[in-house]
């Protein structure tokens, strides 16, 4: 095995060849029985890995917090992979960790959907267990890979868009004009949120017109610039603004505030960032924010890692789970100015620790406020 | 003086014509494009890239490249907001917040310059490193706490507030750009930058303090990136290590479109400035014209190519000689 340690990080191309030939030999037997013998693995031979797209996004920072809390609770060391927005960095860092020979329990927020098969294959060949979060190819299913690809979990996008549309639709009394700020246009997350928003508007609020949509790449600055352009273009015609995440909403709100229009427009978005929570609390812009969704990065990473941990220890055998527990959506809560108080507790400094306590007690499928609520079969286009 | 002014504006006929055509076209497509409100909007959007551009242009004219702006912006922006009235820390150092943030930018720039000039590491590599060092400082300052937002209304509104009908942020950028142009035209440093860009060996053998000039230019570029970071943070009202995201892809193409040769020694501050205007107006015009977002990138690229051809047309013979 020492030769793997030396070769894997630098010679990724050789990885598959080496491991493939190893699998055909004696090691194939060890890999094949890995799930069955998982329960006997000592904790000190395990390593927990949280892989995030970058460490500048508050959501990703929260992912790391959740992983840290679980790592402390389970007393398993944690490795953080910062992909720096690069699939190459992500994959090579993960391969380096796999080469350490420890049993990995991994949560990966993939940079691109197409990264998932490469990462899962490598983890499987190293006998580790991985939960993929948010991005994977639609037809690449945990069930068809095996127990090492424990689960795919994500925050529902369609439901998020619907929450925002409902909040704006109700606030405007079913009549008016709105503009939209999607994220990176071709990302599944943005696409599903946009689809949810448009569908809800079409179905429930036919008298609300979508004036324009300007993808703003999850970038608050770009959203602020686009908002300024749309203010020039439509002026006071704009009654509502929907953004695919709170970062962009923060930028858009600043532009409307600078134009003196903040108290004439209603906003809805996704994520309930602490800054957004502050704005709802303070009633900024005459209660400008009317709708949000609640989910937290630390909850997602802790649930994903814990699911993988249960598989690694043999407490759960993934292949015996129903499909909706292999491909699952988290429950999404719609937040309004009238119910936001109940979510304040989840931003307390010890909230990740408290959540992990409940998670270990109740399991990944039953821990409020973000339990996994089954597959996305009802949500067209969600996976 | 007139001779100098004509030198400043020499050459950009194609560029000015391209901008004029775009303005005309977009005004026809949407009359609001030509409104005073949109002029203020465009000037507001131009201000941050314009400030960065002044420093970056000097570096490019010297025959080097500066990729560090986005990182320095993140570090300086976070430093500034955390020392100004904000939602995270109860601290307000006033003018010292500016000194600290600008000082950090200057230091990062000087360090880059010293490594580049004294250790002879290619500027592409050093500034790439500085980008990440700056970003790293920004990330550490950002930490795990909540997003810091400005609580001082006057500071948050300053960039958009109008003076003589134009936004303050533009006045700041215009001041920097004019100062940059004057430095290039009338000072020893400006002439030295062009001399180094043209031929470093000759510049050195003619007794120019080349290393000192290189360090000074990178220091200045760092200082201006820091100023841009502070302004961008004020414009957004919140701090983020990513505050400079995407600026590099406006600033460097703008300099090149303006006719600044990446090999150095050729081009000018005012021409680079026109390049920024071209890019911002193009983007703003496409939004106002209601181009479907699915096609916007493609249309942006296509118009840009046409505009660059128009810009380069009057100078095609010279460009041909230069390959």
A55–B242 C-beta distance less than 8 A = no
Do B38 and A185 make contact, defined as CB atoms within 8 angstroms?
no
* DSSP code, position B314: G
A13 has pLDDT over 50:
no
Shortest Cα–Cα distance, A4 to chain B (Å): 31
Whether A221 and B38 lie within 8 Å, measured CB to CB: no
**CB-based burial, A256-270: b 16+ in 10 Å, e otherwise:** bbbbebbeebbbbbb
Question: Which one of B144, B156, B236 has the shortest CB-CB distance to A224?
Answer: B236
Measured between CB atoms, which of B35, B45, B240 is closest to A228? B45
- Compute the distance between CA of residue A107 and CA of residue A134 in angstroms, rounded to an integer: 11
Please name the member of A57, A61, A213 whose beta carbon is closest to the beta carbon of B293: A213
Q: What is the pLDDT of residue A28?
A: 42
Decide if A185 and B288 are in contact by the 8 Å CB cutoff. Answer: no
What residue in A sits closest to B290 (Cα-Cα)? Answer: A212
pTM, 2 dp: 0.83
Q: Is residue A6 less than 8 Å (CB to CB) from chain B? A: no
Best of A65, A233, A285 to mutate (most B CBs within 10 Å, chain B)? A233
The rounded radius of gyration (Å) of the Cα atoms in chain B is 20
Q: Residue A23: its pLDDT value, please?
A: 40
CB contact under 8 A, B238 and A225: no
Q: Do A254 and B235 touch (CB under 8 A)?
A: yes
Interchain contact, B237 vs A254, CB within 8 Å: yes
Check whether domain A157-294 has CATH 3.40.50.2300, yes or no? yes
Q: What percentage of chain A exceeds 70 in pLDDT? A: 87
Q: CATH number of the domain at B14-315, please?
A: 1.10.3470
Question: What tens-digit pLDDT sequence spans chain B (323 residues)?
Answer: 555 555 555 557 778 888 999 999 999 999 999 999 999 999 999 999 999 999 999 999 999 999 999 999 999 999 999 999 988 888 888 899 999 999 999 999 999 999 999 998 999 999 999 999 999 999 899 887 777 889 888 888 899 999 999 999 999 999 999 999 999 999 999 999 999 998 888 999 988 999 999 999 999 999 999 999 999 999 999 998 989 988 998 898 888 888 777 777 777 888 889 999 999 999 999 999 988 888 888 888 888 888 777 777 766 555 544 44
Chain A with chain B: Cβ pairs closer than 8 A = 85
- Listed by start position, the domains of chain B span 14-315
Task: Give the phi and the psi of residue B183 in degrees, each rounded to 5.
Answer: -60, -45
Among A65, A212, A229, the residue with its CB nearest the CB of B41 is A229
Q: What phi and psi values does residue A268 have, to the nearest 5 degrees? A: -145, 150
Q: Do domains A43-155+297-375 and A157-294 have the same CATH topology?
A: yes
Which of the 8 DSSP states describes residue B207?
T
Tokens of B7: 């030198």
Does B287 contact A251 at a Cβ distance shorter than 8 Å? no
**pLDDT of amino acid A15:** 45
Read off the pLDDT of residues A294-326 as tens digits, 9 standing for 90 and up. 999 999 999 999 999 999 999 999 999 998 899
- 3-class DSSP state for residue A185? coil
pLDDT higher than threshold 80 for residue A277: yes
Task: Collect all residues with Cβ–Cβ distance below 8 Å to B133 and sequence separation of at least 6.
Answer: B71, B75, B108
Put simply, the answer to whether A229 touches B288 (Cβ < 8 Å) is yes
pLDDT above 90: residue A275: no
Give the pLDDT score at A7.
Answer: 40
Domain parsing of chain A, residue ranges: 2-33, 43-155+297-375, 157-294
Question: A226, B287: Cβ pair inside 8 Å?
Answer: yes
The 3-state DSSP class for residue A327 equals strand
Q: Is the pLDDT of residue A193 over 50?
A: yes
User: Radius of gyration of chain A from Cα atoms?
Assistant: 22
Q: What is the pLDDT of residue A338?
A: 92
Give the pLDDT mean for A210-230. Answer: 94
Is the Cβ pair A224, B235 closer than 8 Å? yes
Place of tokens 């300099």: B255
pLDDT of residue B318: 52
Q: Model confidence over B194-215: pLDDT tens digits?
A: 999 988 889 999 889 999 999 9
CATH of domain A43-155+297-375: 3.40.50.2300
pLDDT band at A58; cut points 50, 70, 90 = confident
Calpha distance B17→A358 (Å, rounded) = 66
Q: How confident is the model at residue A34 (pLDDT cuts 50, 70, 90)?
A: very low
Distance CA A208, CA A197 (A): 12
Q: In DSSP terms, which residues pair with A133 in a beta bridge? A: A109, A153
Q: Which residues of B touch A275 (CB under 8 A)?
A: 87, 146-147, 149, 238
CA distances from B173 to B46, B50, B107 (A): 8, 6, 21
Which SS3 state, helix, strand or coil, does residue B2 take?
helix
Please answer yes or no on whether B160 and A229 come within 8 Å at the CB atom. Answer: no
**0.90 surpassed by complex ipTM:** no
Closest-CA residue of B relative to A228 is: B41
pLDDT digit string, tens, across residues A175-189:
999 999 999 887 888
Mutation target to probe the B interface, by most B beta carbons within 10 A, among A56, A62, A215, A219 is A56
Q: What is the mean pLDDT of the segment spanning A363-373?
A: 90
CB contact under 8 A, A233 and B294: no
Distance (Å) from the C-alpha of residue B195 to the closest C-alpha of chain A? 37
- CA–CA distance from B52 to each of B55, B160, B196, B230 (Å)? 6, 19, 21, 12
Nearest 10 degrees: Cα torsion B209, B210, B215, B220 = 90
In tens, the pLDDT along A98-147 reads 998 889 999 999 988 889 999 999 999 999 999 999 888 888 999 999 99
Distance between CA B130 and CA B116 in Å, rounded? 11
A80 inside 8 A of chain B by CB:
no
Residue A38 in this model has a pLDDT that exceeds 70 = no
CB contact under 8 A, B237 and A233: no
Q: Which residue has the higher pLDDT, B121 or A376?
A: B121
- Across the range A19-23, mean pLDDT stands at 43
Are A258 and B144 in contact (CB < 8 Å)?
A: no
Residues 196-255 of A with CB under 8 A from B: 212-215, 217, 219-222, 224-226, 228-233, 250-251, 254
Neighbours of A227 (CB within 10 A): 28
**B141: chain A residues, CB-CB within 8 Å:** none
Confidence of residue A377 (pLDDT cuts 50, 70, 90): very low
Q: pLDDT at position A313, please?
A: 93
Q: Name the residue with higher pLDDT: A3 or B63.
A: B63
Distance CA A228, CA B165 (A): 17
């Amino acid at each position: 095995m020492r030769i793997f340690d030396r070769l894997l990080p630098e010679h990724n191309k050789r990885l598959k060849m080496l491991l493939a030939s190893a699998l055909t030999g004696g090691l194939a037997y060890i890999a094949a029985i890995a799930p069955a013998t998982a329960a006997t693995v000592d904790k000190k031979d395990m390593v927990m890995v949280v892989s995030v797209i970058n460490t500048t996004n508050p959501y990703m920072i929260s992912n790391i917090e959740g992983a840290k809390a679980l790592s402390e609770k389970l007393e398993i060391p944690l490795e953080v992979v910062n992909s720096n927005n690069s699939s190459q960095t992500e994959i090579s860092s993960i391969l380096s960790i796999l080469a350490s020979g420890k049993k990995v329990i991994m949560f990966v927020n993939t940079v691109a959907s197409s990264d998932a098969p490469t990462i899962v294959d490598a983890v499987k060949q190293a006998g580790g267990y991985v939960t993929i979060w948010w991005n994977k190819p639609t037809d690449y299913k945990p069930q068809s890979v095996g127990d090492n690809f424990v689960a795919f979990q994500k925050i529902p996008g369609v439901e998020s868009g619907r929450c925002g549309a409902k909040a704006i639709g109700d606030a405007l009394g079913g009549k008016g004009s709105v503009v939209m700020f999607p994220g990176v246009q071709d990302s599944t997350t943005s696409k599903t949120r946009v689809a949810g928003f448009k569908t809800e508007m079409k179905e429930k609020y036919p008298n609300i017109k979508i004036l324009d949509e300007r993808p703003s790449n999850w970038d608050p600055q770009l959203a602020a610039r686009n908002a300024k352009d749309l203010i020039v273009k439509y002026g006071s015609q704009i009654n509502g603004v929907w953004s695919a995440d709170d970062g962009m909403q923060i930028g858009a709100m600043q532009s409307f505030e600078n134009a003196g229009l903040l108290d004439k427009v209603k906003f809805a978005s996704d994520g309930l960032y602490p800054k957004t929570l502050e704005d709802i609390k303070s009633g900024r812009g005459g209660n400008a924010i009317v709708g949000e969704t609640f989910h937290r990065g630390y909850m997602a990473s802790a649930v994903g890692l814990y699911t993988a941990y249960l598989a690694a220890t043999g407490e759960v055998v993934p292949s015996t789970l129903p499909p909706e527990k292999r491909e699952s959506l988290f429950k999404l809560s719609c937040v309004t100015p009238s119910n936001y108080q109940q979510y304040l507790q989840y931003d307390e400094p010890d909230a990740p620790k408290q959540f992990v306590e409940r998670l270990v007690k109740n399991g990944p499928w039953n821990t409020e406020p973000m339990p996994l609520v089954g597959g996305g079969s009802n949500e067209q286009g969600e996976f | 003086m007139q001779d100098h002014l004509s030198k400043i504006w020499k050459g950009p006929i194609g560029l000015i014509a391209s901008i004029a055509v775009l303005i005309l076209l977009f005004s026809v497509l949407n009359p609001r494009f030509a409104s005073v409100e949109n002029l203020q909007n465009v000037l507001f959007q131009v201000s941050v890239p314009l400030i960065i551009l002044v420093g970056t242009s000097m570096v490019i004219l010297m025959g080097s490249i500066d990729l560090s702006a986005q990182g320095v912006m993140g570090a300086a922006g976070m430093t500034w907001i955390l020392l100004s009235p904000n939602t995270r820390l109860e601290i307000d150092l006033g003018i010292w917040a500016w000194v600290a943030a600008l000082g950090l930018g200057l230091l990062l720039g000087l360090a880059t310059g010293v490594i580049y000039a004294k250790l002879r590491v290619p500027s592409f590599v050093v500034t790439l490193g500085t980008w990440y060092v700056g970003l790293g400082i920004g990330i550490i300052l950002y930490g795990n706490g909540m997003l810091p937002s400005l609580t001082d209304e006057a500071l948050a509104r300053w960039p958009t507030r109008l003076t003589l009908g134009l936004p303050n942020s533009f006045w700041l950028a215009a001041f920097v750009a004019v100062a940059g142009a004057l430095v290039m035209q009338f000072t020893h440093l400006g002439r030295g930058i062009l001399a180094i860009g043209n031929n470093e060996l000759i510049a050195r053998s003619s007794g120019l303090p080349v290393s000192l000039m290189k360090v000074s230019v990178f220091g200045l570029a760092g200082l201006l990136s820091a100023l841009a970071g502070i302004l961008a943070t004020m414009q957004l009202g919140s701090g983020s290590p990513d505050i400079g995201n995407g600026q590099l892809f406006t600033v460097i193409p703008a300099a090149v479109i303006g006719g600044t040769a990446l090999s150095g020694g050729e081009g000018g501050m005012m021409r680079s400035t026109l390049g920024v205007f071209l890019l911002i107006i193009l983007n703003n015009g496409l939004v106002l014209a209601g181009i479907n977002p699915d096609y916007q990138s493609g249309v942006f690229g296509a118009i840009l190519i046409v505009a660059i051809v128009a810009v380069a047309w009057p100078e095609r013979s010279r460009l041909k000689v230069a390959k």
